[in-house]
Amino acid sequence: MLNKLTNWVRHRRTNTIYLAAMAVLFGAAFFARPLFGQTPGQEAPAALGGERVFKFFALFSDPRYTQLELVALMVVLAVAVAGLLYALMLMKQVKAADQGTKRMQEIAAAVREGADAYLAAQFRKIGPLILIITVILYFTTQSDLAAFKFGRAGAFVVGAVFSWLVGFVGMRLATTGNLRVAAAARHSYGEAMQLGYRTGTVTGMLTDGLGLLGGTLIFIAYGEQAYEALLGFGFGGTLLALFMRVGGGIYTKAADVGADLVGKIEKNIPEDDPRNAATIADNVGDNVGDCAGMAADIFESYEVTIVAAMILGLATFGHKGVIFPLLVRGIGVLGSIISTYTVKAGPNDTSDTALKSVHNGFWIGSMISVVGFIALGLAYLKFDANYLATNAAVKAGFPNGDPSQLPFWANLGIAGLDMRPVITCFIGIVLAIALNKVTSYYTHTTHAPVKGLAKACQTGHATNIIQGLAVGYESTVATVIVIATAILLSYLCYAGTPPLFVAYGVAMTGIGMLTLTGNTISMDVFGPVADNANGIGEMGYDAEAMEKAEKGSYKRARQILADLDAVGNTTKAETKGIAIGSAVIAAVSLFSSFIAVIAVGSEDKISLMTTEQYLAEAGKLTVSHPVVFIGFLIGGAVPFLFSSMLIRAVGRAAFLIVKECREQFRDADIWTGKKKPNYGRVVDICTSTAQKELIGPGFLAILTPLAVGFLLSTQALGGFLAGMILTGQLLAVFMANAGGAWDNAKKFIEDGNYGGKGSEAHKAAVTGDTVGDPLKDTAGPAVNPLIKVMNMVSLLALGVVMKYNIMTGTGSRVIGLLIALVCAVTIGWSIWQSKRESKELQEMEKQFEQ
């Protein structure tokens, strides 16, 4: 794998060298502790009274850490590495599998090339931005200690690279696995299914491993001053995920919609027909969007939740508060390793049994985790007099400052024990399962909502759309109630304690929720792999040869692939609820860090904050203040604008693809199948358009919080975040579920209900599906990283915003005004750009009108 990667980097030369150089530079600085930090006296600013003496790896010489804790941290590191090794092992298994015929390999290679080209192009586009942001992060760190500056900027680069790596490897693997699955389907259902699932598991374990590795390493290096580095790490992962999600989402739906419009609707040929120039792009899109995009997205959720838990853990329960979530994650990784390996299917299995095996894997993982959490809690979560003496802040977390006064449900009668973190983790696991169920209820063919949509298709296009909107609206309510209940329960666990403790409880719910990320991603990536394998079967199987070898084998193999595709669609859909749920939970828990920073004036003084300071600042974030309310209104509108931009982008890109495909169909040789269409041209269009369309939404995500902050103060920025989280979540769920329901209503009709394929009802269902496509696969999922990027940008810029904002800033307001203006103008330009029709579109328009 590493070989492949270096190879790949070598081939892109100049374009990527600067990023590699930068990574090495910061990486070296990041881990080279002798360079700085050992002479803190010189660098510690007078303002801090010299209190802050920073030393790398200080925890190894800190008497408060027991030997056992240090060993446990090393064990966590080992588990993270074990996860990565498990991924490597599975990767080898997948690669060693049969690769099918030459024709199949050609098709797979075309898809793979397209996917590579896309990621490379994106790399070239995002690279400079990452570089610029790195420099800005370095210089805007409020601390004067070089270690913190490097920590923030360096961790940002590491986070970004990890996120990109998860997406990149996941996608590469998917484009390797799809071929093997198609090949295996020729002789065994079980083998094909297992290969597909394991391909997904590789990405899953990579996410787990890298996420845990990064968090643990940062903590080991920075100890109790990890705040800056953790934020940088989280932001890097989140930003990359946003770009992967947005770019991938535009790519996949432009290709899909374009291919369908020309192929299925205009020319009436089946999906994946080799004569359609857009088919390869369509298959590339599945990898780029559903695989790279989704993997990067969940990676950043995984990352941000651990970042939030660690930051809050430090500020509340001291180092036990940090080590506990890391250990929990370790158990989760072990649980994922064991449970994903149990997912198997026999040669004669069916969709039902296969799905059961996947679900069983999830349950086994959950059981391992829950048992592990309880054992861990009983062993580790003990707070004795000694710990309380050396970690003064902890006392506030207990009734009257005394752990032994906790009620029975929290300490099980054992004085000094505090099982609340375990309980909140458990709430998180239940939340994940409940969100899966809600998603499933609103989007599965077996439940009333989708059946209702299919029925509505009988009365036409419009009734299907209207019903779908109603279903989507309603599903947001169910989701909100589930999430609100989880937050309420974790709040009740910590009721009576100061706000940061409550926030820690919410953060631990997030940790619990993403415990089985390995399994979740396996289920998710299985979707595009099976979809692609089906495409390779359609285009690449040699029906004659297969039938000659064994009668009926072609049909059987195609049926296996179709079944797997259906299973993949189901498992993929189930995981969507978790992605948005985790975004909300992470955002809510990070919100208290936001207030804490404002309260004490700078990130590096959080540990000195009093509860009174916090409450005073939190009180200013009241929605009753007009400026906060204005921020709140604007924040609420941003997800709408963002979605609107993405939807338009898909439309524009699809238009260009339709044009290209139509042109190619005019070539009689292509139409009759004598000549291969030029797949590459469509792939190129998708790649370049997706990159172009990336810019506007990207600027919107990064610059809006800055514009609000500098123009309207930090309080307005707080309101902005709250409004944005609320509507972002509602809109994301609405779009994902309405889209999913339309998709499955179409499938339900295609299964022979209400007239089946070709009926009027089916046409109405296809309209619903097409409307749902950009909602559920482009705009909806991109809102997750949007929420987190805006949160992270706000947190990182907070120091500068406090100083220079126009309303309440202490520094030069001219600087604030200038920054706000630059941001506002750039956002305006992005919006204008996103509405403008490209030259090609205008030309096409003219042709159309002639």
> Which residue number, 188 or 727, has a Cβ lying nearer to a copy of itself?
727
| Number of CB atoms found within 10 A of residue 462's CB | 11
Burial pattern 334-360, b for ≥16 Cβ within 10 A else e, equals bbbbebbeebbbeeebebeebbebbbe
Contacts with a copy of itself in 203-262 (CB under 8 A)? 261
Work out which of 71, 392, 469, 608 binds a copy of itself, going by CB under 8 A.
469
Contacts with a copy of itself in 624-653 (CB under 8 A)? 624-627, 629-630, 632-634, 636-638, 640-641, 643-644, 647-648, 650-651
- Indicate the angle between helix axes 780-804 and 102-140, nearest 10 degrees: 20
Q: CA 728, CA 444: separation in Å to the nearest integer? A: 24
What are the φ/ψ torsions at residue 497 (nearest 5 degrees)? -95, 165
8 A C-beta contact, residue 707 and residue 827: yes
Q: CA 698, CA 464: separation in Å to the nearest integer? A: 33
What are the φ/ψ torsions at residue 516 (nearest 5 degrees)? -95, 40
**Paired strand residues for 417:** 382
8 A C-beta contact, residue 782 and residue 245: yes
Give me the least distance between CB of 698 and a copy of itself, in Å please: 17
Q: CA 644, CA 653: separation in Å to the nearest integer? A: 14
3-class SS of residue 37: coil
> Which residue number, 345 or 502, has a Cβ lying nearer to a copy of itself?
502
Question: Which residues 6+ apart lie within 8 Å of 81 measured at CB?
Answer: 209, 213
Q: CA 216, CA 80: separation in Å to the nearest integer? A: 9
> Which residue number, 147 or 500, has a Cβ lying nearer to a copy of itself?
500
> Which residue number, 32 or 448, has a Cβ lying nearer to a copy of itself?
448
Q: Note whether 770 binds a copy of itself by CB under 8 A.
A: yes
Give me the least distance between CB of 353 and a copy of itself, in Å please: 32
Question: Which residues 6+ apart lie within 8 Å of 413 measured at CB?
Answer: none
Work out which of 62, 106, 402, 474 binds a copy of itself, going by CB under 8 A.
474
Q: What is the DSSP string of 341-407?
A: HT----TT--HHHHHHHHHHHHHHHHHHHHHHHHHHHHHH-B--HHHHHH-GGGGGGSGGG-GGGS-
Name the DSSP class of 399.
Answer: G
Q: Note whether 137 binds a copy of itself by CB under 8 A.
A: no
Q: Where are the alpha helices (DSSP H) in 185-289?
A: 189-222, 227-259, 279-285
Q: Note whether 502 binds a copy of itself by CB under 8 A.
A: yes
Give me the least distance between CB of 648 and a copy of itself, in Å please: 5
Give me the least distance between CB of 590 and a copy of itself, in Å please: 11
Q: Note whether 601 binds a copy of itself by CB under 8 A.
A: no
Work out which of 8, 341, 441, 491 binds a copy of itself, going by CB under 8 A.
491
Q: Three-state secondary structure along 293-305? A: HHHHHHHHHHHHH
- Here's the x/- map for a copy of itself, 371-410, by CB under 8 A: it reads as ----------------------------------------
3-class SS of residue 551: coil
Q: Which of 164, 178, 190 is nearest to 244 (CA)?
A: 164
Give me the least distance between CB of 151 and a copy of itself, in Å please: 26
Q: CA 620, CA 617: separation in Å to the nearest integer? A: 5
CA-only gyration radius of the chain, Å:
26
Sole window of 68-76, 227-235, 474-482, 571-579 interacting with a copy of itself (rule: CB under 8 A): 474-482
Work out which of 237, 428, 677, 719 binds a copy of itself, going by CB under 8 A.
719
Q: CA 697, CA 1: separation in Å to the nearest integer? A: 33
Q: Note whether 825 binds a copy of itself by CB under 8 A.
A: no
Sole window of 12-20, 28-36, 435-443, 768-776 interacting with a copy of itself (rule: CB under 8 A): 768-776
Q: CA 850, CA 842: separation in Å to the nearest integer? A: 13
Q: Note whether 484 binds a copy of itself by CB under 8 A.
A: yes
Give me the least distance between CB of 827 and a copy of itself, in Å please: 11
3-class SS of residue 412: coil
Work out which of 313, 723, 781, 816 binds a copy of itself, going by CB under 8 A.
723
Amino acid type, 505: G
> Which residue number, 379 or 448, has a Cβ lying nearer to a copy of itself?
448
Work out which of 71, 109, 135, 466 binds a copy of itself, going by CB under 8 A.
466
Work out which of 376, 775, 787, 820 binds a copy of itself, going by CB under 8 A.
775
Q: Note whether 747 binds a copy of itself by CB under 8 A.
A: no
Work out which of 200, 215, 247, 774 binds a copy of itself, going by CB under 8 A.
774
Q: Note whether 718 binds a copy of itself by CB under 8 A.
A: yes
Q: Note whether 828 binds a copy of itself by CB under 8 A.
A: no
Contacts with a copy of itself in 32-91 (CB under 8 A)? none
- Here's the x/- map for a copy of itself, 695-714, by CB under 8 A: it reads as -----------------x--
Q: CA 632, CA 634: separation in Å to the nearest integer? A: 5
Give me the least distance between CB of 261 and a copy of itself, in Å please: 7
Q: Note whether 734 binds a copy of itself by CB under 8 A.
A: yes
Q: Note whether 543 binds a copy of itself by CB under 8 A.
A: no
Q: How many CA atoms lie within 13 A of 142 on its CB side?
A: 22
Amino acid type, 187: H
Give me the least distance between CB of 678 and a copy of itself, in Å please: 23
Work out which of 79, 417, 422, 465 binds a copy of itself, going by CB under 8 A.
465
User: Burial, 470: exposed, middle or buried (Cβ in 10 Å; 0-12, 13-18, 19+)?
Assistant: middle
Give me the least distance between CB of 684 and a copy of itself, in Å please: 23
Give me the least distance between CB of 281 and a copy of itself, in Å please: 19
8 A C-beta contact, residue 209 and residue 165: no
Q: CA 418, CA 737: separation in Å to the nearest integer? A: 39
Question: Which residues 6+ apart lie within 8 Å of 376 measured at CB?
Answer: 324, 327, 328, 331, 422
Q: Note whether 844 binds a copy of itself by CB under 8 A.
A: no
Contacts with a copy of itself in 609-628 (CB under 8 A)? 615-616, 618-627
Q: Note whether 481 binds a copy of itself by CB under 8 A.
A: yes
> Which residue number, 23 or 278, has a Cβ lying nearer to a copy of itself?
278
What are the φ/ψ torsions at residue 735 (nearest 5 degrees)? -70, -40
Work out which of 350, 458, 688, 833 binds a copy of itself, going by CB under 8 A.
458
Contacts with a copy of itself in 561-590 (CB under 8 A)? 588
At 508, list the tokens.
Answer: 């631990």
Q: How many residues does the chain have?
A: 850
Q: Which of 694, 767, 628, 836 is nearest to 264 (CA)?
A: 767
Give me the least distance between CB of 485 and a copy of itself, in Å please: 8
8 A C-beta contact, residue 216 and residue 52: no
Q: Note whether 841 binds a copy of itself by CB under 8 A.
A: no
Q: Note whether 265 binds a copy of itself by CB under 8 A.
A: yes
Give me the least distance between CB of 616 and a copy of itself, in Å please: 8
> Which residue number, 371 or 469, has a Cβ lying nearer to a copy of itself?
469
3-class SS of residue 666: coil
Q: How many CA atoms lie within 13 A of 527 on its CB side?
A: 24
Give me the least distance between CB of 635 and a copy of itself, in Å please: 9
Q: Note whether 496 binds a copy of itself by CB under 8 A.
A: no
Q: Note whether 145 binds a copy of itself by CB under 8 A.
A: no
Give me the least distance between CB of 738 and a copy of itself, in Å please: 10
Give me the least distance between CB of 771 and a copy of itself, in Å please: 5
Sole window of 12-20, 123-131, 374-382, 455-463 interacting with a copy of itself (rule: CB under 8 A): 455-463
What are the φ/ψ torsions at residue 382 (nearest 5 degrees)? -110, 130
Q: Note whether 771 binds a copy of itself by CB under 8 A.
A: yes
Give me the least distance between CB of 307 and a copy of itself, in Å please: 18
